[in-house]
């Protein structure tokens, strides 16, 4: 990760040097294109310092229709919250002005390239010396499916996944709440483990996941992840936590299926010189309320349940006439529903929809972040565990 810090920081230098917002953002995107071979065209920045939180959303090359689309669908604003401020293409606000206004951001003293497992999105965390943090998200192809001719082999439908992951990410790593308050959230699974991965205790949600073997299971008393790459990164994180100069918290992603994953936060429960190091693992499920492919499409693109069913049929290559016969409706009804689906998804053809339906999976790379942790809050969190419950293993 250290190599990425230097490498990626050089790509971000235009944010602090250019006088024009358009030029500074475009220069960064050009650097990203060259480094990672993507077609970046959107940048969002969230800065959350103790005194001066800032939300900044910026898009390059956005036409008026797409800007209006973003404005009307605020839950699709990348990446953080509905309160993000949208700045027009040609006016206001340069990154240099932002850094001068908040001098602690004049030079980020640490940045990391964070591969959250997306083909077309990069997520970068910044940390200030006074404890603030920022999230920078770079996406490719803001039109999410409206390709240029030379980009017809690719599709950008993963921004909604990124948004869902970030919601869980920020829930687990929120400076407003202390550790016990986060742990008391009923939807957060908590595991108390040793550095070797042996389970000591868990809360009710944790045992529920273990009993269902949903991405995480218990093998001879040790946590075992079903995905081998996630298992490797978990072992790496458990090792790293007690081998850093200072205590760290780490956030990783645990793959469950090709389409779903958990976001996990780990942090130390005792000092490094303790004979038996113990670790708290907090797990959040971005897909907790989603139990089917149609429900996932409804969540990602605001489709109705009927539209989601039609989208899956079209995405599997069915023709409108065949769908009309199968469902006992007129072909005009199906075409009207199809047009509504295309508008909500930002696509124009059935071929784009086929690519999208067959590309909903996310990859399994998992380096997310490390940050300094105040361990003074952690012992009280242990009181939140339920009594041990037997699990199947």
Domain ranges of the chain: 2-142, 179-289+364-384, 293-357
Distance between CA 329 and CA 308 in Å, rounded? 16
Distance between CA 167 and CA 134 in Å, rounded? 14
Q: Which pLDDT score is estimated for 173? A: 54
Domain made up of 293-357: CATH architecture: Orthogonal Bundle (1.10)
**Over 90: is that where the pLDDT of 227 sits?**
no
pLDDT digits (tens, 9 = 90+) for 235-274: 888 887 777 655 556 767 787 876 677 878 887 876 655 5
Please count the CA atoms within 13 angstroms of the CA of 70 that sit on its side-chain side: 25
- pLDDT top residue among 159 and 234: 234
Answer yes or no: are the C-beta atoms of 29 and 60 closer than 8 Å.
yes
Q: Which pLDDT score is estimated for 347? A: 72
pLDDT digits (tens, 9 = 90+) for 172-192: 655 444 555 656 666 788 899
Give the Å distances, CA to CA, from 305 to 72, 90, 149, 276.
21, 39, 32, 51
Give the Å distances, CA to CA, from 55 to 69, 163, 229.
19, 15, 34
Give this prediction's pTM. Answer: 0.47
Q: Which pLDDT score is estimated for 229? A: 79
List the Cα angle 94/95/101 in 5-degree steps: 95
According to DSSP, residue 179 is labeled H
Q: 179-289+364-384 sits in which CATH class?
A: alpha beta
**Over 90: is that where the pLDDT of 100 sits?**
no
- 329 phi/psi in degrees, rounded to 5: -130, 170
From 11-15, 162-166, 192-196, the region with the lowest mean pLDDT: 162-166
Q: How far is CA 159 from the centre of its chain?
A: 9
pLDDT digits (tens, 9 = 90+) for 14-26: 655 555 555 665 6
Q: Which pLDDT score is estimated for 244? A: 63
Helix, coil or strand: residue 14: helix
């Amino acid at each position: 990760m250290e190599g990425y810090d230097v490498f990626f920081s050089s790509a971000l230098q235009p944010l602090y040097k250019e006088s024009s917002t358009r030029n500074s953002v475009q220069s960064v995107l050009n650097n990203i294109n060259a480094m990672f071979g993507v077609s970046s065209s959107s940048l969002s920045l969230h800065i959350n310092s103790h005194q001066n939180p800032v939300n900044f959303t910026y898009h390059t090359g956005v036409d008026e229709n797409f800007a209006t689309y973003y404005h009307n669908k605020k839950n699709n604003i990348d990446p953080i919250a509905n309160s993000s401020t949208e700045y027009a293409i040609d006016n206001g606000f340069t990154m240099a002005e932002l850094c001068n206004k908040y001098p602690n951001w004049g030079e980020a003293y640490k940045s990391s390239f964070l591969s959250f497992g997306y083909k077309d999105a990069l997520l970068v965390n910044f940390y200030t010396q006074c404890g603030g943090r920022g999230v920078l998200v770079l996406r490719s192809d803001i039109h999410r499916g409206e390709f240029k001719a030379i980009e017809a082999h690719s599709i950008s439908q993963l921004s909604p996944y990124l948004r869902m992951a970030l919601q869980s990410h920020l829930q687990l790593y929120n400076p407003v709440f202390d550790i016990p308050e986060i742990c008391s959230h009923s939807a957060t699974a908590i595991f108390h483990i040793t550095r070797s991965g042996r389970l000591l205790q868990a809360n009710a949600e944790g045992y529920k996941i273990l009993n269902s073997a949903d991405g995480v299971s218990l093998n001879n008393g040790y946590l075992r992840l079903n995905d081998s790459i996630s298992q490797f990164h978990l072992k790496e994180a458990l090792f790293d936590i007690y081998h850093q100069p200072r205590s760290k918290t780490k956030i990783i992603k645990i793959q469950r299926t090709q389409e779903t994953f958990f976001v996990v936060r780990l942090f130390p429960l005792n000092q490094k010189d303790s004979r038996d190091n113990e670790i708290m693992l907090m797990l959040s499920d971005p897909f907790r309320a989603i139990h089917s492919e149609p429900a996932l499409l409804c969540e990602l693109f605001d489709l109705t349940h009927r539209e989601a069913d039609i989208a899956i049929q079209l995405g599997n290559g069915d023709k409108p006439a065949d769908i009309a016969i199968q469902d006992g409706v007129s072909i005009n009804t199906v075409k009207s529903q199809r047009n509504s689906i295309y508008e909500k998804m930002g696509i124009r053809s059935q071929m784009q929809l086929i690519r999208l339906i067959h590309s909903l999976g996310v990859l399994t790379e998992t380096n997310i972040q490390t940050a300094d942790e105040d361990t003074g809050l952690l012992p009280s969190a242990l009181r939140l565990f339920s009594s041990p419950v037997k699990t199947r293993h």
